[in-house]
Amino acid sequence: MSAPRSCSVLVAVLLAQATLAHAEGPTIEHSAIKCIVAGKYRKMPARFAPPEVAQPRVYFRPEGVPSWYYVEMKPEAALGHVGVLPKPTKKLVGQHIEYYVEAASKDFDTGRTPEYDPVVVAKDSDCSNDPVAAFYSKEPPSAVFPSVPEGFAIAGGAAGGTTLAIVGGGVAAGTAAVLLAKGEDEPEPIPPPVTQPPATSPPVTQPPATQPPGSPADVACQADPRQGRAPLQVKFTAQASGGNGVFDYVWTFGDGDTSTQINPTHTYANPGVYEARVVATSAGLAATCPRTITVLASAFLLRATVAGSGTGTISGDGIACPGDCSEQYEPGRSVTLTAAPTGGSTFAGWSGDCSGTGTCTLTMDGDRSVTATFNPPPTLFPLNVTLAGTGSGTVSGSGIACPGTCSQTYPAGTSVSLNAAPGASTFGGWGGDCTGTTGLTCNLLMSGPRNVTATFNAPTTFRLTLNVQQNATVLAGVDVIPSPFGFCGSAPPPGTTCVADYAPGTTVTLRPVTETGDHLAWSGDCSGVATGNSCVLAMTQDRNVGSLFGFGTTTAGTSTLVSRLAASGRAEATLNGTALGAITTGMRSLTVSVPTGENRLEGELVAAAKGTWTLDLSGIAGLERGSLRVLAGDAVAVGPDSVVFRLSGRANERVGVAFTKR
């Protein structure tokens, strides 16, 4: 160990001589860089005072590398002097790059900045905490001395490192150039070149062989790594210079522990931000070097697995499986995974730390493992439906609409329900795989190919149902030719219904007949036939017809009022005070002009009469149904458009009603 100790002393002597000869170097104005973007050539600007300097350089080295590299700085009008670093590759993202700026005066007095340690980031947006404008160069540095360090690149190529590097600052007049090969414990001193004085100069006086006063102490330090998850083991290194000989080292790690080793290794057990610091002391001279260590919480591993004979994917929060099936997360992180079947497969469900068939949500409070199982695409079986018989009908349900769509395929195990609708025919039953099923519905389980037959038979007869209705006291009906009854007559509401059966294809004629009143409308299978005209039907299916009789409008602006006096006597009536004339016993139709709005119909017996008097207003066009109300008389029945009065036999007996016309 004595030889390295003597080398250190010699270096100290040489540095001390330089300090005595040149006391001051140029001042350097430089703003610290906080981050460098991977893949870009970073400009490192600085201004010097005085501006005329020698050997302006930017010294740099990757985190954990003991040797320094440098690039020359060149004048650039807007920025002063600029040195361009080689571009860090993505391999260095997250690591720190240490650097400082150094230059010498015309007398080779050296000045330098403190050491800075920007971090390498992947993109510009990650540099938001850097207050210094990001200057980048399109061109690489003209040269890197002594070579490009590992992890950096010029023109696309990544450097593999070097076996020889410059330690400390640049070589200045009167100082020692110290070269350090990787792996050596101490540098070998190389004496500075000796400048011979000119012949006319006086002889050079050598300094006395006494120990020179010590130069200012300096210490550089490294921490590798500077960030990681707990428990984090960090290797620290220190390298002191100057001083008065041998250095003593004291490390404080920021968590209460210390060490007096030069290059200790320390383990941080708990998450946090720690400031590690080394103090190097040499005979009363001391220097300090700090390093910040960031310890993150322990990470938990999530592993996803795709299982089953089907195919599918698991995705979410950094997982893309198959492919990327595992990921680490900070404690307490909520992670959501989604399973998606592919190629017709089906998702059978989660197992492991998730269950069910929905999304999988996990809280990462420990290592987790989940499995998504996918079943293969189901086997498809065909279903064929055939219509048979002399009649017609349809079969529908579960994708079948026959005739039309009579075949369909279904996954194995599907339940299919078929419904038969015979329409005008009769349903003859199910056949094929529905044989033995009663009713109009057949249920099938698709455990194999299925064939079904539905039989529809044409009927032997078709039925005519005729409903004759009236909304007034009329004598009317419908002649049906041919028919077993001939004439279907009207009766008081709700009317008369007549039924007859015919052989398929028979032609039937329906002719309205009125003695009193009017034929007002056809309905059902005779809808669209003009009022009063005959309706002709072909019996190709069951038919339903409605025929309505009553009193309609006789002339424009007039209506029909029907009086039925079932008593011996004579009466007179007025409508809104206008006389309607004498009314005699029996049914009488009166033509009246009824204005819109409220109307009053009043009657008086000229002679005594006993019985009933019916006033039928159904022939009044626009009568507001429900508006009819009794004003006078003994009303025994009040309908929506008629009223029946009981006559007591008193002379001059009066009756009266009010109604509204729209």
Identify the three-state secondary structure at position 5: helix
So what's the pLDDT on residue 493?
55
Sequence length of the chain is 662
**Other CB atoms within 10 A of residue 529 CB:** 19
Task: Give the start-to-end residue ranges of the domains of the chain.
Answer: 2-181, 215-296, 300-375, 380-456, 462-550, 559-661
- Partnered with residue 441 across adjacent β-strands are 419
Q: With respect to CATH, is domain 559-661 assigned 2.60.220?
A: yes
Buried b (16+ CB within 10 A) or exposed e, 578-608: eebeebeeeeebbebebeeeebebbbebeee
Q: What angle do CA 412, 418, 424 make, to 5 degrees?
A: 160
* Tokens linked to 258: 């210390």
Give the Cα separation of 503 and 461 in Å (integer). 5
Strands 450-457 and 380-388, bridge-based pairing: parallel
Burial class (CB in 10 A: 0-12, 13-18, 19+), 435: exposed
So what's the pLDDT on residue 228?
86
Q: Which residue has the tokens 């009223």?
A: 643
So what's the pLDDT on residue 205?
42
For residues 423 and 457, the answer to whether their CB atoms sit within 8 Å is no
Output the 3-class SS for 541-552: CCEEEEEEEECC
Q: Which residue has the tokens 């973007």?
A: 37
So what's the pLDDT on residue 651?
84
Give the Cα separation of 487 and 484 in Å (integer). 9
So what's the pLDDT on residue 296?
85
Give the Cα separation of 242 and 485 in Å (integer). 137
Q: What is the pLDDT of residues 562-578, one digit of tens each?
A: 888 887 778 899 999 99
So what's the pLDDT on residue 156?
54
- In the chain, which residues have pLDDT < 50? 1-23, 157-212, 554
DSSP states of 503-541 as a string?
-TT-EEEEEEEEEESEEEEEEETTTTSPTTS-EEEE-SS
CATH of domain 215-296: 2.60.40.10
So what's the pLDDT on residue 557?
63
Per CATH, the homologous superfamily of domain 2-181 is Immunoglobulins (2.60.40.10)
* Tokens linked to 501: 């059966």
Give the Cα separation of 477 and 97 in Å (integer). 112
Q: Which residue has the tokens 């080295």?
A: 61
So what's the pLDDT on residue 344?
84
Among 2.60.120, 2.60.40, 1.10.3470, 2.30.29, what is the CATH number of 300-375?
2.60.40
For residue 595, say if its preceding peptide bond is cis, omega within 30 degrees of 0.
Answer: no
Give the Cα separation of 393 and 410 in Å (integer). 24
Identical fold, 462-550 and 559-661: no
**Residues 6+ away with beta carbon under 8 Å from 210:** none
Q: DSSP class of residue 116?
A: B
Residue range 462-550 forms a domain whose CATH class is mainly beta
So what's the pLDDT on residue 592?
87
